[in-house]
Amino acid sequence: MLITAVPLVGSAIVWWSARRGEAGRTLAANLVCLLTLLLSLVQFFVVQKGQAIGWSIPWVLAFGLKWRVDHFSAVFALIVSLVWFLATLFSKEYMAHEENQTRFSVASVFTLGSTLGVFLAGDLFSLFLFFELMTFAAYLLVVHAENKPAVEAGSVYLYMSVIGGLVLLGAIFIIQHNMGHTEFVPMLDGLLAAGYNPWLLLGVVIAGFGVKAGMVPLHIWLPQAHPVAPAPASALLSALMIKTGAYGFFRFLTVVFTSPQGSGLFYLQESFGYVFIWIGTITMLGGALMALVHSPMKRVLAYSSISQMGYILFSLGTGVMLGQDGAVGLAGAWLHMINHAFYKSFLFMLAGAIYLRTDELDLNKLGGLVRFMPKAFLFFLIAAAGITGVPGFNGYGSKVLIHEAILHAYHLKGWESLLWLERAFVFTGGLTAAYISKIWLQAFLAKPKADYSQVKDISRSQVGIFTVYSVILLCLGVGAQGAINKLVLPVLVGFDLKAADLAHLQHVPFWTGHELMGPVTSYGIALTVLAVLALFRFKPPVPSWLSVEKIVYRPLCSLLSRPLRQQERTGFGFDLVIVGVIFFAVLAFFFL
């Protein structure tokens, strides 16, 4: 409870300290984030001893506010606190010339508390409350610039998040009404006995958590929000906040929507997992393709986050589909969540550092920065090695596990589709290497498109922060087996998984020739793709109309709003009417 309370209350302290000037505000924000990190570290060591901890305030809203922390929650609470602390240190220099710095600091610290609340929640109701607090607090980070693009991006983010939250609330109503509680326990049997369609319930959960997870086609807020948000906010939104959606999927698919493999209902769990493999494939492949054809650096990284979330959903689906044989898939998804949190926040902060020095992030306008920013170039190569899975860096370990998982599924099931899904995974790895290589090639090595001779390299404080990131990426990469033993296996112990698969995870053959060929294949695909694009001078056009938002969402909203336009004359908020109609439509659909 303290870990969530410190930043929530601390945001008010940051606001109060701002009256003493910039130094007071910065000191307060840093101390609040540091204290949260230390508490998370203590909590991690307590839980690591093998016992979940919990606490509750029973009188809150008649349901009670509950915290329950197992190894799963403790690990990610520690990661969230660490990355947030580093981003807060980074924001001091980045935000020095921005307006509304106090509002940004207060919103950032408050968002930290609500994000931690999602991971530490003891039941679905508590998770929902923190989920919505996080939504509205993060909105202030998205619209910080207060210009037209920021406000429009914030509106899309808020609409998508609020509607997703209301749908999730409907699912919680169903569970509470039929089960009498909202605890994280297996409920599939009980919900089916109550007469609910399991696929409808899965659809509700996908709509509820898919927005935050950046899942295609619910991803449209991500590529709009990240380019306009300050770099420290983008690092937090992309690396951490979207993990709350993945965390929700983890809890539902591995706990709430489960049934023993020997029961007659396991086929549903198997089908749910197979669907998520396809969702993950579409998400990771679509995000990678869009990252490849865009030129603004932060937009490329935003689409990259969508693609990387696809990896996680892909591996999670594999683990869920295989049931007792799914240890490697679950391990790959969990480890990739950890790895992505570090290298993606690292990449966004590097983009912010480049912007501070050049005032430019369009790759078509950058070039030649290696002469003036050699330290930034070195750090970017380290982050690029992490996300592309170069051996010795953190992304390598989780990609090996994901690849093993889908091949294991093919060998067990023999389905031809699984082999094609494995090929899609390998091809996406090549696209990842292509768009990341495109960034550092165009920004640092290409011919300069402007005079950057006055540009200076990154500051000492940024060198310190990026050094910490580099050490983390190398430790998780070189010590991939240790990361599995300390951070992954304790999570899997509580699941019904085969002992042989758990034993395999204790001795993963990371350094065999077969596994080491994976990154070689990825960069071979990347080299081919980049060579074709360069040879034919092909810059794939992206028409403004070719987007899910303009093809699907805007026409749908226009259709729904047509009968309500007369409400604008009454003075009652038109936007509020739309949200209200959708909310009550959802409730009616569930209960009538």
pLDDT at 576 over 50: no
User: 445 and 586: one domain?
Assistant: no
pLDDT at 185: 83
Q: Which distant-in-sequence residues (6+ apart) come within 8 Å of 573 by Cβ?
A: none
User: 57 and 81: one domain?
Assistant: yes
Per-residue pLDDT, averaged over 184-191, amounts to 84
pLDDT at 260: 64
Distances, alpha carbon 174 to alpha carbons 53, 59, 168, 353, in Å: 27, 22, 10, 47
Q: Are 480 and 396 in contact (CB under 8 A)?
A: yes
User: 463 and 569: one domain?
Assistant: no
User: 311 and 327: one domain?
Assistant: yes
Per-residue pLDDT, averaged over 55-75, amounts to 85
Per-residue pLDDT, averaged over 564-568, amounts to 49
User: 295 and 441: one domain?
Assistant: yes
CA-based radius of gyration for the chain: 23
Chain CA centroid to CA 549, Å: 20
pLDDT at 219: 82
Q: Which of 122, 114, 132 is CA-nearest to residue 66?
A: 122
Number of domains in the chain: 3
Q: Which of 128, 158, 166 is CA-nearest to residue 140?
A: 158
User: 556 and 536: one domain?
Assistant: no
Other C-beta atoms lying within 10 Å of the C-beta of residue 185: 12
The model's confidence at residue 105, banded by pLDDT at 50, 70 and 90, is: very high
Per-residue pLDDT, averaged over 459-477, amounts to 94
The terminus-to-terminus CA distance of the chain in angstroms comes to: 38
Last residue of a domain, one of 524, 540, 556: 540
The model's confidence at residue 569, banded by pLDDT at 50, 70 and 90, is: very low
User: 535 and 568: one domain?
Assistant: no
User: 470 and 573: one domain?
Assistant: no
pLDDT at 394 over 80: yes
| Full residue range of the structural domain in which residue 564 is found | 543-592
Claim: this prediction has a pTM higher than 0.85: yes
The model's confidence at residue 551, banded by pLDDT at 50, 70 and 90, is: low
pLDDT tens sequence across 196-247: 888 888 888 898 898 888 888 888 888 888 888 898 998 998 888 899 999 9
User: 428 and 528: one domain?
Assistant: yes
pLDDT at 544: 57
pLDDT at 473 over 90: yes
Last residue of a domain, one of 513, 540, 567: 540
The model's confidence at residue 567, banded by pLDDT at 50, 70 and 90, is: very low
User: 369 and 470: one domain?
Assistant: yes
Last residue of a domain, one of 92, 121, 150: 121
Work out the mean pLDDT of the chain and round it to a whole number.
86
Per-residue pLDDT, averaged over 310-336, amounts to 93
Per-residue pLDDT, averaged over 380-393, amounts to 94
User: 38 and 72: one domain?
Assistant: yes
- 235 assigned to some structural domain: no
- 141 assigned to some structural domain: no
d(CA 148, CA 145): 9
pLDDT at 493: 83
Q: Are 280 and 312 in contact (CB under 8 A)?
A: yes
Per-residue pLDDT, averaged over 512-521, amounts to 88
pLDDT tens sequence across 400-446: 999 999 999 999 998 999 999 999 999 999 999 999 999 999 999 98
pLDDT at 589: 47
User: 524 and 548: one domain?
Assistant: no
Distances, alpha carbon 163 to alpha carbons 168, 210, 249, in Å: 9, 11, 17
Distances, alpha carbon 229 to alpha carbons 47, 300, 304, in Å: 35, 14, 16
pLDDT at 327 over 80: yes
